[in-house]
Homo-oligomer: A and B are copies of this chain.
Amino acid sequence: MARRTKAEAAATREALLDAAEEVFLEKGVARTSLEQIARHADMTRGALYWHFRNKADLFQAMLQRVRMPFQELVEEIGDPSLVERPLEAIRLACLKGFERLEQPRYRRVHAILIHHCEVFGDIDPLAMQNEMADEACGALIDYFGCAARLGHLRAGLSPEVAAELTQAMLGGLFHDWLRNHERFSILERGTVLLDTQLELMGASSSE
């Protein structure tokens, strides 16, 4: 066939990634062949093997479109007064994360990463989940530690336990929602759960 212009080539690359998301989410990563993905994008495997070296390379490119580190969420809020209210910083960052997750692309890719793929090639999704969890937990420990020094935490509650508790709760909510997002809105339920959890853990005097 005919060669495409650079913009068209970039468009087909995006189309292939979109098709990969949809088919991966529907059939699982292992059970989908590269031909199925290509045909779903109205292309052939030739196009796929031109833009990506193999399935693992395609997968990594798919992930790279939805990176969402915890620190970025806090920085995007851009409220300097949050330094004095670390619990509120956690709350707003999580809410921002919830809003992102409701966008189809973020939701689909994370659902694939967590529920619809196994180890394959040189890709280990569990290692990626570990990295994400470690980074989130580290940030939470920092913020809860700051809250503890400011006296914003309930007496007897260590910042480590508070961070582990919050991270476990958020992770469980995350997994439950990604399993079937039609059941509830993660923004709504996440707001309720996070607010009550933070209120339970916050110092009863101030807050």
Candidates B115, B170, B179, B193; contact of A164 at CB < 8 Å: B193
Assembled-state Cα–Cα distance A49/B180 (Å): 34
What 5 A-B pairs are tightest by C-beta distance, nearest first?
A171-B172, A30-B30, A172-B172, A28-B118, A168-B172
Q: Are B164 and A189 in contact (CB under 8 A)?
A: yes
Interface residues of A (CB under 8 A from B): 27-31, 115-120, 126, 129-130, 133, 154, 157, 161, 164-165, 167-176, 179-180, 189, 192-193, 196-197, 200-201
The residue in A118, A130, A133 that gathers the most chain B C-beta atoms within 10 A of its C-beta is A118
Measured between beta carbons, the chain B residues less than 8 angstroms from A174 are 172
Measured between beta carbons, the chain B residues less than 8 angstroms from A164 are 189, 192-193
Interchain nearest-CB distance for A191 vs B (Å):
11
Interchain nearest-CB distance for A207 vs B (Å):
14
Measured between beta carbons, the chain B residues less than 8 angstroms from A119 are 27-28, 31, 116
Interchain nearest-CB distance for A122 vs B (Å):
13
Measured between beta carbons, the chain B residues less than 8 angstroms from A30 are 28, 30-31, 118, 120
Interchain nearest-CB distance for A154 vs B (Å):
8
Candidates B118, B161, B172, B192; contact of A170 at CB < 8 Å: B172
Q: Are B126 and A180 in contact (CB under 8 A)?
A: yes
Candidates B31, B157, B172, B197; contact of A175 at CB < 8 Å: B172
CB nearest neighbor in B for A173: B168
Assembled-state Cα–Cα distance A119/B111 (Å): 13
Q: Are A161 and B196 in contact (CB under 8 A)?
A: yes
Measured between beta carbons, the chain B residues less than 8 angstroms from A180 are 126, 130
Candidates B120, B170, B172, B200; contact of A201 at CB < 8 Å: B200
